Chain A
Amino acid sequence: AQKITQTQPGMFVQEKEAVTLDCTYDTSDPSYGLFWYKQPSSGEMIFLIYQGSYDQQNATEGRYSLNFQKARKSANLVISASQLGDSAMYFCAIMGDSSYKLIFGSGTRLLVRP
């Protein structure tokens, strides 16, 4: 079974600052993938970044990077140079190779202040 824990229900960040959203996970699968999604107020789910459990390097996509610490079972999302449009809900998710179920955490609401 897989589980995702996001302990920050809400966060504030000043525009142009960097912010880290926390995600810890639990899985019995030796091989798995970790995902971050963004959900703006419009409700659409936007795929941001992916990290494979055997990837040697931390994933990066533009202003998004994933701080993957396998021994700690954490996969924190770092957003650099925050923009007002980054205000949204952010969800961390995991998919293991044993079942291919995609399991989400409870999310973090990020508000970017001008």
Chain B
Amino acid sequence: DVKVTQSSRYLVKRTGEKVFLECVQDMDHENMFWYRQDPGLGLRLIYFSYDVKMKEKGDIPEGYSVSREKKERFSLILESASTNQTSMYLCASSRLGDRAEGAFFGQGTRLTVV
């Protein structure tokens, strides 16, 4: 069974903390994505990676950074968490060159910044 696994289902962090959200996939996918989901706004792309050490900004990269040192792992970093980063974060992966398969999603991490 294919899997995208996010390290935490729920997280509570304090304002100003450095926060790491981890995502691991076991499908040898080239593409990996980080989204945040907010009511009425859908899924907004934060960052995207198509290869190890490669990254591209999505629509809302401000306040976030990412790391992809290994093909299977894609980390989202909040350098200094703020209350407006309270949200549901979703990681996804997909195979390069095979769009029809779609992207596979993790279970999501609900982050609350207090």
CB of A27 to closest CB in B, whole Å: 13
Whether A43 contacts B107 by the Cβ 8 Å rule is yes
Interface size range of chain B in the complex: 20 to 34
Whether A9 contacts B40 by the Cβ 8 Å rule is yes
Q: Is the interface of B mostly helix, strand, loop or mixed?
A: strand
Whether B103 contacts A99 by the Cβ 8 Å rule is no
Interface residues of A in 86-114 (CB under 8 A from B): 91, 93, 95, 99-107
Whether B92 contacts A45 by the Cβ 8 Å rule is yes
User: For the complex, what is the distance from the CA of A103 to the CA of B103, rounded to whole Å?
Assistant: 11
Chain A minimum-CB-distance residue to B100: A50
Residues of B within 8 A of A52 (CB): 99-100
Residues of A within 8 A of B58 (CB): 101
Chain A minimum-CB-distance residue to B44: A104
Residues of A within 8 A of B45 (CB): 101-104
User: For the complex, what is the distance from the CA of A102 to the CA of B104, rounded to whole Å?
Assistant: 11
Chain B minimum-CB-distance residue to A49: B102
Assuming A35-B102, A43-B107, what are 15 further A-B pairs, CB within 8 angstroms? Answer: A35-B103, A44-B105, A50-B100, A50-B102, A52-B100, A93-B43, A95-B94, A99-B48, A100-B96, A101-B45, A102-B48, A104-B42, A104-B43, A104-B44, A107-B43
Q: Which residues of A contact B (CB under 8 A)?
A: 6, 9, 33, 35, 37, 43-45, 47, 50, 52, 91, 93, 95, 99-107
Q: Which residues of B contact A (CB under 8 A)?
A: 31, 33, 35, 40-45, 48, 50, 56, 58-59, 88, 90, 92, 94, 96, 99-105, 107-108
Q: Could you list some 12 contacts between A and B, CB below 8 A?
A: A43-B107, A44-B105, A44-B107, A47-B104, A102-B48, A102-B94, A102-B103, A103-B45, A103-B59, A104-B44, A106-B42, A107-B43
